[in-house]
Structure 1
Amino acid sequence: MTADARVREVGDIRTAHLFDLVVDLNPRLPIGSGPFGRRVLFGAAGGTFCGPKLHGEVVPGGGDWALFAPDGTMALDVRLTLRTHDGALLHMTYGGRWVTPPALREAMADPAERYRIDPAGYYFRTNPLFETGAEQYAWLNGIVCVGSGYLVEGGIAYKICEVL
């Protein structure tokens, strides 16, 4: 097949570290199996974020309205509020996918051991977007990010990068 003549070279996708995010989680709330899969709410109890341009805390009350497919793949539907060190509020949303190979599923089900599993063994990627009315952080309204997630004791963590 011949490439479409309208296709142009636009350069490789580059990223820059925005911040590391740790979200402390409340006990899960199993909503149950429905027409699209098994829904579980992982509520945010707090947390922190820290990067070269901004840092602060996760405001309790957001969460992930996760949907588990029959094959174990988790589709994320996350909404969080972040408060920067200088008091600005940021609305952060992201979807994503968490795919755990069958060989790791039993270990991931063990609350005492799951955070010790090497994140290289599973696929956990997100696509964060931001909204804010804070003038000093308005630049966040116009960027797209990607994130790599992993489990930590008591919650979940992400390395978030801005797509340049």
Structure 2
Amino acid sequence: MLLDAELVLELNVEVGEVQEVGKTPKGFLRLIPITGGTFSGKNIKGKVLSGGYDWNTALNDEIVHAFARYTLQTDDGVYISIENEGYLDSRIQDKKIKTTPRFQISDGKYDWLRSGVFVGNLEAGKTDTPSVSIKVYEMK
């Protein structure tokens, strides 16, 4: 069985200098500050606000767990809270992190983001500014 998905959102998330917490009971923790960026998609666009973080934990030498929480602001002033979680397995040649973004948003024209099922691909950004590129797909 093949699953059907539609690309609904593309984000360029700018990141700051990594802050190493170090070895913890869950793995080696790095905090990656989210410093800005932009997004666009299905009848929506805006900016990524600074102030969020990715709690990036190396579980072992091959598996990294990413958990990011930050805020988007649409061009018409609506705030959207996003949590994006996923894993990178360095043994796989495709170096994209597969993620499961979840959105919190008030009622209105973008509330479709809170009722859908979404998956994402996260990879290193393609700009001079340190960033990641995230493509978000809605499962049909």
TM over 0.5: yes
Aligned residues: 137
Matched, 1:82 2:72: yes
Shift of 1:56: 0.6
The structure number with the bigger radius of gyration is: 1
Name the structure with the higher strand share: 2
Contact 2:96 2:123 in 1 (8 A): no
Q: How far apart in 2 are the matches of 1:56 and 1:64?
A: 20
Shift of 1:52: 2.6
Partner of residue 160, structure 1: 136
| Equivalent of residue 58 in structure 2, options 46, 59, 68 | 68
Partner of residue 21, structure 2: 31
Greater Cα offset, 58-67 or 145-154: 145-154
SS at match of 2:17: coil
The alignment's C-alpha RMSD in Å is 1.7
Sequence identity (%): 26
Q: How far apart in 2 are the matches of 1:121 and 1:12?
A: 20
Partner of residue 136, structure 1: 109
Deviation by residue 1:15-73 (Cα, 9 ceiling, x = unmatched): 11111111100101101101110011111000011113211100100121111112231
Gaps of 5+ in 2: none
Contact 1:89 1:134 in 2 (8 A): no
Greater Cα offset, 93-102 or 153-162: 93-102
SS at match of 1:60: coil
Q: How far apart in 2 are the matches of 1:46 and 1:63?
A: 11
Counterpart of 2:25 in structure 1: which amino acid?
A: P
Matched, 1:148 2:124: no
Residues 80 and 18 (structure 1), Cα distance of their counterparts in 2 relative to 1, 3 Å cut: same
Contact 1:88 1:134 in 2 (8 A): no
Q: How far apart in 2 are the matches of 1:123 and 1:49?
A: 18
Instruction: Say which structure, 1 or 2, has more relative contact order (CA 8 Å, 6+ apart).
Output: 2
Q: How far apart in 2 are the matches of 1:12 and 1:135?
A: 32
Matched, 1:59 2:49: yes
Shift of 1:91: 0.6
